[in-house]
Structure 1
Amino acid sequence: MDNLTASEIIDRLGGTTEVARICQIKPPSVSEWRSTGIPQARRQFLELLRPDAFGSAVQAQDGVVEARALVDSRMSKRALRARLGLGSDAHLAKVLGLPVEQVSGWADEDMVPALPQVMKLLGHTDQQEPAAPRNDDPDADRIGAVDTA
């Protein structure tokens, strides 16, 4: 169970079309991976996203815990790319599902912004709901509909 083939992993992830949708590429590219193997950066991305498809649940949880320990929300963009094994802003943008221009706009040495995609990748799922807008009008609950002729 430890040495799964690329085909077995792709099947566990839902098949060629589903993996292509997840990676935002065309299905023929994923079909090619069945014979050539899944590229390392894509494999790491898929492993973070769906650890259950790569082995037993215990091993998968250990991998997620280990990855989350490596990735800290206070790290710089350069450190995040290095930890994930990504070579460019384009790769990081693809993993985060953000436009390349947005990721390129972040300074390499600044902290990674706390966007929902970044926080999900970092394993912070306890996001708070946005607060409801405060109504400063004291008569807001007493105003009713007005019928006009």
Structure 2
Amino acid sequence: MAARQALGRALIAAGGTMVVLTVGTGAISGVAMGVAKVFIDREKSKKQAPCVVCRSNRRVACEVCEGERIIKYWPTPEPPPAQLHTWSVCSMCEGAGDHPCINCQGTGSVYPQAWDLAEQEAALREQLALAPVPAAAGQHARASARA
């Protein structure tokens, strides 16, 4: 009987230890992932450029109603009398007058395209080509030994 109680206590202690270790490991992993995400997001934001479509405003005027929020529609060539207007809410922007920018998806910044990066890389290569290249330490030692 005493052996069974001791075995039961040992199993409970082992199970409790496993639960504590699992929860502790999960908490530490969660914190580490959160910190890593913050650093990655910072690095990504350094590489982003402002959106040229919305000029970093995150929203653009609706192309259908041109920001008026309503569509003035009449099927005849001349406008109807003032009492018989046929206005409707714009179905594109749902009466908001603007919508999130499609280019940056409402973030206000975009990653540079490949051609933009190619231009930057070419400019960097030009700068490196113009800079003097210092002699390596081994080459300098060999040149002085030959002389």
TM-score (norm 2): 0.19
TM-score (norm 1): 0.19
Structure whose alpha-carbon radius of gyration is higher: 2
